Amino acid sequence: MDEAAEVVVRVRADGATELRVNGVFVMDDVETSSERLLAELVLDLGAREVLVGGLGLGYTAQALLAGDVERLVVAELHADVVAAVRAGAGAGPAVLDDPRCTVAVGDVRDVVAAQPDASLDAVLLDVDNGPDFLVHETNAAVYAADGLADAARVLRPGGTLAVWSMADSAPLRARLAALLDDVGAVAVPVDLQGRSEHYWVLTGRAR
Ligand SMILES: C[S@@+](CC[C@H](N)C(=O)[O-])C[C@H]1O[C@@H](n2cnc3c(N)ncnc32)[C@H](O)[C@@H]1O
């Protein structure tokens, strides 16, 4: 955990709520369809026990808890992000108060490492902009072969690893295909201040 991180949640002049960590934009609540889709993809596949990294403004976790999830572990690096959601930012405290949800403050790699083999139906990774546009270089390890292998280790056969990314990534697809079956990428259309763009969710199923 990075105790020194400066976490700021503010309401901008356009009315949007924005999350910044150490002065760097993390996300806002203008366009959360891809964060929700990350959850909906695995709900559609019947996931009941899920690990998510990280919390952000809580929309992925909220979408999972709106479904049939029975156990949700959320890994969030910064305690102050959790505090902001508890204070009402984004999806708000209902996510944290849901008895199915446990928040572990720490690096998602450590939280995954603490999970038993084949114990989860899905692992959802949304801790950075994706492997090729990192805000935090230390997160390269999350998307590297070893990090993905550990995420695959905790999945039950047929379980899903899903990775949010601001762009499709052939190298990430290749690393996923070395570990998982049915690797694919879903393009999520988003409207970014009038520009039509796509975010991406890359997925694979455990063998
Ligand atoms: C883009 S936000 C996640 C958005 C989230 N899916 C939602 O629906 O709001 C990324 C979050 O991951 C956290 N984070 C960054 N690196 C992390 C890491 N290595 N382990 C756990 N959390 C991390 C950030 O502090 C931030 O809260």
Omega prior to 54 cis, within 30 of 0: yes
Q: Reduce the secondary structure of 165-195 to three states and give it as a string.
A: ECCCCHHHHHHHHCCCEEEEEEEEEEEECCE
Mutate-to-test residue for ligand 1 from 24, 38, 127, highest number of ligand atoms within 8 A of CB: 127
The residue ranges of the chain whose pLDDT is under 50 are 1
CB atoms within 10 A of CB 123: 30
Distance 158 CA to ligand 1 centre (A): 25
Q: What is the pLDDT at residue 3?
A: 53
Q: What is the pLDDT at residue 157?
A: 98
The domains located in the chain, with CATH, are 31-205 (3.40.50.150)
Any atom of ligand 1 within 6 Å of the Cβ of 29: no
200: three-class secondary structure by DSSP: strand
Any atom of ligand 1 within 6 Å of the Cβ of 28: no
Contact 76, 82 (CB under 8 A): yes
Amino acid making up residue 70: E
Atom index in ligand 1 nearest the CA of residue 108 equals: 20
- CA-nearest residue, atom 26 of ligand 1: 56
Structure-token pair, residue 157:
């056969």
> Which DSSP state fits 15?
S
Half-sphere exposure of 42 (CA within 13 A, CB side): 39
Q: What is the pLDDT at residue 193?
A: 81
Any atom of ligand 1 within 6 Å of the Cβ of 58: yes
Q: What is the pLDDT at residue 111?
A: 98
Q: What is the pLDDT at residue 35?
A: 97
Q: What is the pLDDT at residue 2?
A: 54
Contact 64, 52 (CB under 8 A): yes
Atom index in ligand 1 nearest the CA of residue 54 equals: 12
